[in-house]
């Protein structure tokens, strides 16, 4: 039976900057997966940094744009951070992604490494669940000029510096004033990001099918300032009113230093990340395993 995905890109430890971070086991894992994919009838390429960091020179290497233009599938080996990094960059190409987790089970890299040989073949032949996750598009506006922009899959976070006091933030939704918030910061999280920083700050978990965002204050000065769920069709504006060393983080990857009067505008991106899960994938089963909930039930 011919694989539905003829050309597969392997991506591993995408944010790694030196080969020393790749242990022998990680290199061997990628090599084993590449060989396995070839046995399934797939042509295999390695993402450029992955190839460089592992030293696996027997496969063609492609940059992210080439992967988007040439490959039918991206197979990400690592954790959720690895998937976030490559997912943002491949979203505009519509390239589907499968995640294999070498460590603890991830929310979005959900196939344990020791099961890939039985899990992947049906998926490669078209038996999978597709899961679309919209991205957030954020811009920083200063004096009516865009000075920074980024995509985020998890969250956009505006917060204070490590040694400074509270910040004051003016929040608007679709141009309507919501509140001035005095807190350590504010998180705007997608359903994907609702199980990340937002959750640790007291926000609710949003099912991935919900077209919404959650605004979560970080250590608010006023205890009645609670998380609120919004439609992701809205535009959220956060203006820095006061505070020192204020910054904006996008999936904790990008960082912009902010000045008083800067506005962070967040809206839904036109692009979605396409995740593929094994057939029968269950979001609640992932929550039970990842959050160590009671395993009762099926």
Using CA of residue 134, residue 140, residue 145, residue 151, what is the dihedral sign? Answer: negative
Could you report how far apart the first and last alpha carbons of the chain are, in Å? Answer: 32
Q: Where are the alpha helices (DSSP H) in the chain?
A: 24-39, 48-54, 64-70, 80-90, 116-124, 197-200, 283-291
Which residues in 175-278 belong to E strands, given as ranges?
176-183, 185-189, 212-218, 228-231, 236-242, 247-250, 254-257, 263-278
Catalytic residue among 32, 66, 80, 251: 80
Q: How many CB atoms lie within 10 A of CB 90?
A: 25
Dmax of the chain from CA atoms?
62
Tally the residues of the chain.
298
> Is 80 one of the annotated active-site residues of the chain?
yes
Place of tokens 């490669």: 124
- The span from the CA of 197 to the CA of 228, in Å, is 15
Give catalytic residue positions.
80
């Amino acid at each position: 039976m011919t694989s539905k995905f003829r050309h597969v890109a392997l991506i591993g430890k995408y944010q790694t900057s030196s080969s020393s971070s790749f242990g022998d086991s990680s290199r061997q894992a990628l090599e084993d997966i590449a060989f396995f994919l070839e046995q399934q009838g797939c042509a295999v390429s390695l993402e450029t940094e992955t190839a460089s960091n592992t030293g696996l020179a027997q496969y063609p290497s492609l940059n992210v744009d080439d992967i988007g233009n040439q490959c039918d599938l991206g197979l990400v080996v690592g954790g959720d951070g690895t998937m976030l990094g490559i997912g943002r960059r491949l979203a505009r190409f519509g390239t589907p992604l499968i995640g294999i987790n070498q460590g603890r089970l991830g929310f979005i890299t959900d196939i344990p490494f020791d099961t890939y040989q039985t899990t992947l073949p049906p998926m490669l032949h078209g038996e999978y669940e597709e899961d679309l996750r919209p991205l957030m598009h954020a811009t920083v506006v200063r004096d009516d000029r865009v000075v920074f922009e980024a995509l985020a899959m998890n969250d956009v976070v505006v917060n204070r510096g490590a040694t400074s006091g509270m910040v004051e933030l003016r929040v608007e939704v679709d141009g309507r004033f919501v509140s001035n918030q005095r807190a350590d910061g504010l998180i705007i999280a997608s359903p994907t990001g609702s199980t990340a920083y937002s959750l640790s700050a007291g926000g609710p978990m949003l099912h991935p099918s919900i077209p919404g965002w959650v605004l979560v204050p970080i250590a608010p000065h006023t205890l009645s300032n609670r998380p609120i769920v919004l439609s992701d069709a809205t535009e959220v504006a956060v203006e820095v009113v006061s505070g020192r060393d204020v910054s904006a983080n996008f999936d904790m990857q990008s960082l912009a230093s902010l000045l008083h009067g800067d506005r962070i505008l967040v809206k839904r991106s036109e692009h979605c990340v396409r995740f593929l899960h094994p057939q029968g994938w269950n979001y609640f089963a992932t929550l039970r395993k990842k959050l160590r909930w009671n395993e009762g039930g099926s």
